[in-house]
Amino acid sequence: MRQQKRRVGIRATAYLFSFVVILYVVVFMNTPYIVYQPGSASEVAPMIKVENADPQEQGTFMMTTVSASYANVALLISSLFNSNSEVVLKETRLQDKTEQEYAAEQVFYMNSSQSYAVQAAYHAAGIPYEDVVDYLYVFSVPEAASQGQFKPGDKIISVEGQQAADPEGLSKLLSVHAIGDTVNVVLERGGKEMKEQVKLVGVKNPETSALRPGFGVVIGAVQKVEPKEAGKGVSFVDTKVGGPSAGLMFTMEIYNRLTPGDLTRGHRVAGTGTIDAEGKVGPIGGVKHKIVAADRKGAEIFFVPKDNYAEAKAKADQIGTKMKLVSVSTLSDALKYMEELPEVKS
């Protein structure tokens, strides 16, 4: 009897161990893959604040996203049965970057996209503006000595109490110190201010190859666009997404609020595409997933960059959407299309 109980106990332990191992493999174990799927189609109006905005907007402009998940085994298996899933190697997305560096890069691209959207909207609306550096942004921290004090995504607020206007300004601030000196740095990380005492490391001067004092981080400048006309300021709330592809739809919404009348004309309009200061619309990735996301949210019109149109049309035909795909190369193309649409009567 005692041996039987012992065998039952051993069997139960083996079952439990097997269950834990299977659970770990299926749910928690990392794989070298990423699964792309349709993300969201979100109204951009709540993401943007415009001073003295024209209030008329019966329809809506929507940005579209792609859902990208670092895959576990369970997700890989489920993706086999989902015609809207796409499995790719993680290294295809990350290349030589870490996950943290890639995420920081996407946030930078989103911030840059917002700045370009404001510039393009001001340009189209005839509002003069100036472009100034808002803050310096940390992309990556290749120097091991600096990794304890900087992280990808940090904002550099000040050095020794002074704000660096741009990367060249930061180099000038640090040039009065020597390699090995410690300087006081104020950072912003995750919305919280942090104070660090940073030991300067030797950084190679790209022009002379000589070493100069620096942080050992890769940085970029985030621009802020300021109107020269009072009461026309534009600001953004946190969108919680990254990448540059919402540029066109941000611009459409901003332009609509800066100018009289309702550009939406009562329609539900989605789209994607990068934007530059002159209003040129550039191609993006994942358009086939964005088509599905927009269709699920009932979009009537989808603006797609010219270079992405063939892929978008193939997916639209596959899912049988009633959305009208509109190929655009510039902001002017999109504005002209909207201005010629009949207004929806409520």
C-alpha distances out from residue 289 to 98, 100, 129, 248, Å = 24, 24, 36, 17
**83 labelled catalytic:** no
Q: Strand pairing of 281-282 and 48-50?
A: unpaired
Handedness of CA 289, 295, 298, 304 (dihedral sign): positive
**Is the distance from CB of 56 to CB of 261 less than 8 angstroms?**
yes
Residue type, 298: G
**175 labelled catalytic:** no
| Phi, psi at 323, each rounded to 5° | -60, 145
Active-site position among 155, 232, 288, 290: 290
Gap between the Cα atoms of 240 and 272, Å rounded: 17
Gap between the Cα atoms of 264 and 251, Å rounded: 13
Please list, in sequence order, all residues whose beta carbon lies within 8 angstroms of the beta carbon of residue 95, skipping any fewer than 6 positions away.
none
Active-site position among 79, 85, 146, 245: 245
Gap between the Cα atoms of 220 and 57, Å rounded: 36
Catalytic residue numbers read: 245, 290
